[in-house]
Structure 1
Amino acid sequence: MATADLPGPDSLLRRTLGEWRIGLVAWRLLVLQTADPAVAAGMANFSTYRAHPWRRIEHTMDSGKRLFFSDREGLRREVARLERTHRRLAGTDEQGRPFTALDPAVRVWVLVTLYECMTAMRELSGRPLAPPELDQMYGEFRAVCAEFGLSDDLLPATAADVPAYMDRTIRERLEYSEPVRYLLFDMLREAPAPRRLGHLKPAWPLARTVAAHVIGALTIADLPEAFRERFNLPRTRRAALLSFILHRGMRVLMNALPEHRRYRTPLAGNSATSQPPTASTDRPSPPEASPVRLPAPRRRKGADSRPARLRTFFRQVLDQTGDGRISSADLQAMAHNVCWSLELTPEREARVYAAFETWWQHLRTGMDADDDGQVTCEEFVTAMLTGVDAGPAYLKQGLHVAVRAIFHAADTDGSGHLCADEYRTIFGGSRVHPAELNHGFRQLDHDGDGRITEEEFVQAFTDYFTARTDNTAGSQLLGRP
């Protein structure tokens, strides 16, 4: 595929993808992509979408921003990062079929569905793109896709060929799997409250029930007709009316807003995506809370707080896939989340993954009593308490390896300590209140010099796993007790 100019700030692609109303077809996009068997298998085996849905969604949005709103250097770096991540997503599905996220046909489907959802957004709003506009936007889209190195034969040749490609793939390849059903009917009903809700958290159970009903009905109404027919998902009159009102109402609202309010992503892109963050540059906001922040449970005075703290750590930190057990995939997901917010070089990223694999092998060897390649919560708590009571060497062989890797990855300027900004990058995010970040930083900064050394960092994690009460500073590392 020949190299073409990337879409600029005034491109039709950026104007369409950057509008706030793209959120109306976001769930539609996730359902279409997940219906590919390889994507569904990857989600079932490796994704954190059940346990950490907000982080998973925000990662997807952030990746799209890096791909379509960056310069060529930023685009290529993101493509390379995606390839390294996807190379690890391979195995066999529940039916014994091999899958890999690097399958070119799968990658084309994921990309083309994004373009198709942009055109669907315009069509559903009552202002479809004219054929010349479709050609223009598809050309801009193909310019970005060229960096993936995919064969021209796999992508629809022109915008006019996209509908036939969608119809053929829906009828010949897609499946109505459990992850698809979960996205449509259960994910939002079970989603935890975003931490930013604050005092509104008590209203979350009702809010998510309403949101799940509205988004589910809207998604089914907006899915391609071929998809609904194949998987028997009828478009009710009420859902059709909901779609009509929301899409056309949002179009009118967007047109009435000043341009700087109309777009969720600045059309000029984010200059921070063009270069990896360093200590002297402004960092982009991390996608969400790191996988190692959680509230420490309150215990009655004098009681050993470790068992409850370890169970909380297991559920909210280790069990990234949300299936009640941990495996290599869970530790791999934790490594991914560390690397994501830091935009590490391939070599530094590989060291983080290797450290978390070392931690997993240590967990598996000492905890997997039935040798099934997985560790349950009770296996984890029992073995961890036995290990830490036996002596300090137990944590050095596993946990400390991963913790030191996190420290060195976050120490972007190689100074040997973490400043407040570096701490916020690795532990912060849209769901973490600034007060919690400040509290956590002060707990680690034992000598109060405004920076955290590697040994202070490691000691805090050690205290978290070994302190018998919640009064020890390290026990509050991941949140106030």
Structure 2
Amino acid sequence: MAASAAGPEASFRRDLSEWRIVLVAWRLVVLQASHPVVAAGMAEHSTYRGHPWRRIEHTMASGRRLFQADEEQLWREVQRLDRAHRRIRGTADGRPYDAQDPAGRRWVLLTLFETVVAMRELSGEPYTADELEASYREFAGIATVIGLSAGELPATAAELRGQLRRTTVEELEFTETARHLLYDVLREAPCPRRLRLLGPTGWRVLSSAVARVVAELTVADLPAVYRERFGLVPTRRARLLSAALHRGGRAVATRLPDRLRYRAPGAGSSSRPRRPPRQDTRPPRLDRFFREVLDQTGDGHLTAHDLRAMAHNVCWQLELSEEGEARVYAAFEAWWEQLRAGMDADGDGRISRAEYIAATLAGCDRDPAYLEGGLLPALRAVFEAADTDGDGLLDFAEYRVLFDGRRVHPAELSYGFRQLDTDGDGVITGAEFLRGFVDFFTARAASAPGTQLLGRA
């Protein structure tokens, strides 16, 4: 990634990492959800209605990896988002949508930069013209790594303002998703765990009050062209509240030490040293996966018999019906065909451990969809088979039955379950289950939850 072009007084990364960015966070999501493609994807694929706090946490974490972490975490996050977005497509209100639509992706990223600029302006500390261009160059350098081409980006921050205005007037809609985010989602949100002492009644009172304040503040903070386009009129009270919060927030923030002012350590300095890339921890993980999971016959090679034995173990432990067994066996047969076609160079029907590790690493690095060729369809079949009550979730009892055949100590099994249960709600969704295995095969660092599926090394 190109080094920041911003000087010490203008840094997109630094400003994005300030805690007071939360004051314009709701403004950002309403703007993004006003793009029809983004709104359709959120309405049909996002969990923001049922799990808004988890969705906010995931969004914040993704933003940190994209804009505030080192190159390794950025690369991993770009690959993860690409895999997720390839599955978000469909038809809403008779119009097709696709999360990989260039216009939608561009709007999401450009509004992020616009929000940082708005934070500065609302707080009474706008960028100078030179600072604005320097900060935009820094942002553009990151955006091209994330996936926007130079041709998709305005050449300057001044041109960006014009493009955002044109998009607002010509393409945006006050979608149902945007309306719900602005007025209803906080009112309907479940009580966060830390506030459970309030009880149902206390939370209803508090959430209604917070929802009203956030809605009024967001309307006051939205761009004037957006408000005019959709007839949103800020109240005098909201304007006063906005000025008090943003200017007061800046007054407090500028007096705090960097460790309290910024969400990322060292973010106050645009010239902070970069952490050296971590060692790639995938080879030993794949070696262990080969020995403990794949090589069922213990002969040091992978063959069709090993994959059939794995399918047999799954079916045996779960006591599946004939139809259920057929689905699992078919998925594992397809997985073997992918492995054989890509790894069995001499055609002898056997794959050595070294061949497996090298080919898997190369495949994951070369093609973000590599695991979709065999492993993930097999895992979907396993998840559906293990989900004995058909609720789309695995509780620990179902998880334990599924993995008992693997040589993992019960304590490590419990640890692995907690690693997959990323939101800590006591059950594993299909997305969490697959994401854990994707982490296991693709994460270079050992910090990703799925890297410890087989227990701690």
TM-score band, normalised by shorter chain: 0.5 to 0.7
Aligned match of 1:292? none
Distance 1:415 1:399, change over 3 A: closer
Query: 1:249-282 deviations in whole A, cap 9, x for unaligned?
Result: 111111122221111232359979967888x99x
1:214-250: CA deviation from partner (whole Å, max 9, x where unpaired)? 1111111010111101111112211111111111111
Structure 2 unaligned blocks of 5 or more: 286-363, 427-452
Counterparts of 1:170 and 1:92, CA distance in 2: 22
Aligned to 1:168: 166
The structure-2 alpha-carbon separation of the partners of 1:431 and 1:398, relative to structure 1 and needing over 3 Å to count, comes to closer
Partner of 1:219: 218
Residue 299 (structure 1) aligns with: none
Aligned 1:38-187 pairs, distance under 5 A: 38-94=37-93, 96-187=94-185
Query: Hey, what's the Cα distance between the residues in 1 that align with 2:424 and 2:255?
Result: 28
2:418 is matched with which residue: 411, 420, 424? 424
- CA deviations over 1:429-464 (Å, ceiling 9, x no partner): 5889xxxxxxxxxxxxxxxxxxxxx99xxxxxxxxx
- 1:354 maps to what in 2? 377
Does the 8 Å contact 2:67/2:142 carry over to 1? Answer: yes
Question: Aligned-pair RMSD on alpha carbons?
Answer: 4.2
The 8 Å contact of residues 63 and 78 in structure 1, kept in 2 or not, is answered as yes
- Code of the residue aligned with 1:140 in structure 2: it is E
The structural deviation recorded for 1:154 is 1.6
Deviation at 1:9, TM superposition (A): 12
Report the Cα distance in structure 1 between the residues aligned to 2:229 and 2:281, rounded to whole angstroms: 46
The AA in structure 1 aligned to 2:377 is A
Matched residues, number = 339
Change (3 A) 1:350 1:14: farther
SS at match of 1:127: coil
Cα 1:240/1:404, change in 2 over 3 Å: same
Structure 1: how far apart are the matches of 2:177 and 2:65?
Answer: 26
Q: How does 1:209-248 map to 2 (within 5 A)?
A: 209-248=208-247
Q: Give the Å deviation of 1:73.
A: 2.2
Out of 173, 186, 193, the residue aligned to residue 191 of structure 2 is 193
Cα 1:272/1:90, change in 2 over 3 Å: farther
Q: Which runs of 5+ in 1 are unaligned?
A: 282-342, 364-383, 389-393, 433-453, 456-481
Q: Report the 3-state secondary structure (helix = DSSP H, G, I; strand = E; otherwise coil) of the residue aligned with 1:153.
A: helix
Query: Secondary structure of 2:152's partner?
Result: coil
Supply the distance in 2 between the matched residues of 1:193 and 1:398 (Cα, whole angstroms). Answer: 22
Q: Hey, what's the Cα distance between the residues in 1 that align with 2:162 and 2:424? A: 40
Provide the identity percentage: 46
Find the aligned partners of 2:14 and 2:218 in 1 and give their Cα distance: 23
Q: Is the 8 A contact 1:39 1:101 kept in 2?
A: yes
Provide closer, same or farther for how the CA distance between residues 207 and 132 of structure 1 changes in structure 2, counting only shifts above 3 A.
same
Q: 1:407 to 1:362 in 2, by over 3 A?
A: closer
Larger deviation, residues 133-142 vs 191-200: 191-200
Q: Is contact 1:7-1:13 (8 Å) kept?
A: no
Alpha-carbon spacing, 1:62–1:8, altered in 2? closer, same or farther (3 Å): farther
Hey, what does 2:304 align to over in structure 1? none
Pick the structure with greater CA Rg. 2
Distance 2:101 2:218 in 1: 27
